[in-house]
Amino acid sequence: MLKLWGRISSINVRKVVFTAQLLELPFERIDAGAAFGVTRTPGYLARNPNALVPLLDEGDFTLWESNVIVRYLCAKHPQRGLYPQELRPRFDAERWMDWQQTTLNPAGREAFIQLIRTPEEKRRPEAIAASVAATEPLLAMVDAQLANQAYMAGDHLTMADIPIACEMHRWWGLPLQHPDHPNLRRWYQAMRQLPAARGALDIPLS
């Protein structure tokens, strides 16, 4: 059985949980990171020198970096069609996954840190405002991408949808006024209704 190291409060751990559940893979999740510790122990560092979560453990093979784990599981278990076989659709999906990590996540991270993980008296309103200003134009891009197709990389669910769905779970869970993005909202509601989303897109932020 797969072992997944990482606390469920981590967006990156939720990506892998969502993926494994979409693929109907049995797995054991072991709390690690933040208050749970573990990530600085010699045994963990030997398998993940980054000292971060998640870490996927298949016994004789370990893998870290959340989007890479998502790609690996989708490629290894092609029965759901989450890993596109044709080159152009595959790299369309890859593009959106990389964009989530390099652009969307950094834009929204400060608002999350300030509103969820910082005591109210220590929050910096200017940091929240800057994060919102950086994030909302990116969400407009995603809304436009979804205007004429059901999913991020076309008309079928793929690995591209997983990281962005987890990002939207985090962003729309923040106590902010959120402009309406109707295509994005429609897509996200469809993602949340998937049975595999339970325990990944329906939990409170912490």
Dump the DSSP string for 83-125: S-SSHHHHHHHHHHHHHIIIIIHHHHHHHHHHHHSS-GGG--H
Predicted confidence at residue 90, as pLDDT, reads 97
Taking residues 35-39, what's their average pLDDT?
A: 97
Predicted confidence at residue 184, as pLDDT, reads 98
Predicted confidence at residue 199, as pLDDT, reads 97
pLDDT digit string, tens, across residues 85-117:
999 999 999 999 999 999 999 999 999 999 999
Contact 174, 205 (CB under 8 A): yes
Q: What is the CATH number of the domain that holds 193?
A: 1.20.1050.10
- Domain end marker among 27, 56, 80: 80
User: pTM above the 0.75 mark?
Assistant: yes
pLDDT digit string, tens, across residues 47-65:
999 999 999 999 999 999 9
SS3 assignment, position 174: coil
Give me the count of residues in the chain: 206
Predicted confidence at residue 87, as pLDDT, reads 97
How far apart are the C-alpha atoms of 46 and 145, rounded to whole Å?
Answer: 41
pLDDT digit string, tens, across residues 171-184:
999 999 999 999 99
How far apart are the C-alpha atoms of 188 and 161, rounded to whole Å?
Answer: 9
Selection from 98, 181, 203 nearest residue 135 by Cα: 181
Q: Which domain holds residue 108?
A: 87-197
Q: 70 and 112: one domain?
A: no
